[in-house]
Amino acid sequence: MNLKGKWTITVVMGIVCFVLIAVMFMQFKTVNQTDITSIEIMRESELRSELASWKSKYEDVQEKVEENNERIEEYKQGTEDNVKATQLLEEELNQAKTSLGLTDVVGEGVVVTLEDNDTPPDYYSEDDVYDGRINVYDILQLINELKLAGAEAISINDIRVVDKTDIAWVMDTYIVVDGVRISSPYVVKAIGNQTALESGLMQKDSGYMDKIINAEDKKATVQRENEIEIYKYDKDWDTKYIQEN
Amino acid sequence: MGLLIAIVVGCVLGLIFGINAPIIPYTYSGYLAIAIVAALDSVFGGITSVLNKKFDMKIFVSGFFGNAILSILLTYLGEKLNVDIYLAAIVVFVGRMFTNLSIIRRYYIDKWSQKKQEKEDENKQKTV
């Protein structure tokens, strides 16, 4: 009995010790890994008041955020309108530029080639005077005819012809366009309705081609083309004397 | 002797188990803390009763687990009532721990001084 009693005591004490120490160290581990103190101090009522204050703060911040968002929307609208206005202005500007000839353009039209001709045709006799050179009046007349036929852009040897363009005849020999000398062959490009342009030039007896080829025996050809590139007028266009009325 | 070995073995095993065991869920750690204090108090009470030769296994074990469970229940009740009842439990348990500790201390110091006295008496007898 005594031995059994002692044995019981020993075992029970062992178990008790084990449980106590084990639980103690588990608790140590738990406390070590969670920062209890700050939350533990607060009781329910404190937590409630904290929560309420945080809630009201949050709502305030929410309101401010909404206000700011609205303002951002307004500014966006403002800039959108601004952007539209700028776009319209830009479009107008581009159109004006194109019409003036300040932009490179491409389109269908005709290409008229005039060439200086040295050899007279067969039926000329030696006494007849033959001047096969293209002179400035030929070119001016051609340009006028093209405009009449509805050409929207014209260039001679890739020099853009605009309202302001002058074509001069220096010493009766050289043709100078806007200060740039050009020589044969003279390639005149014109963008417009192909049919209108061609037929305008090819009219029998009164059209330009007939007059220049048949009446003066000069070398000239007209050709339709679909993608004619005409470069822009690249000189300065300053006005000193005209003013807005 | 066997008892001491059993206690030491139990402690070591508890140490190993406690350090490597999983963490207790955070919400229960409060209850566990107060239970540990109650258990410690009953251990010290047990030691005191051994010294007084009045050790009773049944009382010890029932006190150990009973106090722990009672303190957990009181803490839970306190939480429900929003009254910190666990504070009172801590005061009582730690107070009793100090009382028991002072009894143990007094016992051993008396024992030690008794031994010293006996030795001096022996020496006196020898010289005489």
Q: pLDDT tens digit string along B79-117?
A: 899 899 999 999 999 999 999 999 999 998 999 999 999
Q: Which domain holds residue B54?
A: 25-119
Q: Is A176 helix (H, G, I), strand (E, B) or coil?
A: strand
Its pTM stands at 0.45
Contact A103, A212 (CB under 8 A): no
Q: What values do phi and psi take at A148, rounded to 5?
A: -60, -40
The answer to whether residue B43 neighbours chain A at the CB level (below 8 Å) is: yes
The answer, yes or no, to whether residue A135 has pLDDT greater than 80, is yes
The answer to whether residue B62 neighbours chain A at the CB level (below 8 Å) is: no
Whether residue B2 is contained in a domain is answered as: no
Q: Which domain holds residue A120?
A: 105-230
Percent of chain A with pLDDT over 90: 35
Least confident of A89-93, A122-126, A130-134, B118-122: A122-126
User: How many domains does chain B fold into?
Assistant: 1
The answer, yes or no, to whether residue B128 has pLDDT greater than 90, is no
Whether residue B59 is contained in a domain is answered as: yes
How does DSSP classify residue A223? E
Among residues A156, A142, A159, the alpha carbon closest in space to that of A201 is found at A142
Higher pLDDT, A26 or B24: A26
With a threshold of 0.85, tell me whether the complex ipTM lies above it. no
Contact A9 B3 (CB under 8 A): yes
Find the closest chain B residue to A3 by CA distance: B2
Q: How far is CA A48 from CA A55, A57, B30, B80, B82, in A?
A: 10, 14, 21, 16, 13
The answer to whether residue B1 neighbours chain A at the CB level (below 8 Å) is: no
Whether residue B12 is contained in a domain is answered as: no
Placement of tokens 């581990």 in the chain = A29
Out of B18, B33, B40, whose CB is closest to A25?
A: B18
The answer to whether residue B57 neighbours chain A at the CB level (below 8 Å) is: yes
Minimal C-alpha gap between A45 and chain B (Å): 9
Least confident of A6-15, A64-73, B73-82, B110-119: A6-15
The answer to whether residue B7 neighbours chain A at the CB level (below 8 Å) is: yes
Q: How far is CA A33 from CA A29, B24, B34, B46, in A?
A: 6, 10, 19, 33
The half-sphere exposure of A6 on its side-chain side, counting CA atoms within 13 A, is: 7
Whether residue B55 is contained in a domain is answered as: yes
CATH number at residue A224: 3.30.70.1880
Query: A217: alpha, beta or left, given left = phi > 0 and alpha = psi -120 to 50?
Result: left
Whether residue B124 is contained in a domain is answered as: no
The pLDDT value recorded for residue B93 is: 94
Instruction: Tell me how many helices (H) and strands (E) chain B has.
Output: 4, 0
Chain A environment of B22 (Cβ under 8 Å) = 26
The number of residues making up chain B comes to: 128
The pLDDT value recorded for residue A37 is: 56
User: How many domains does chain A fold into?
Assistant: 1
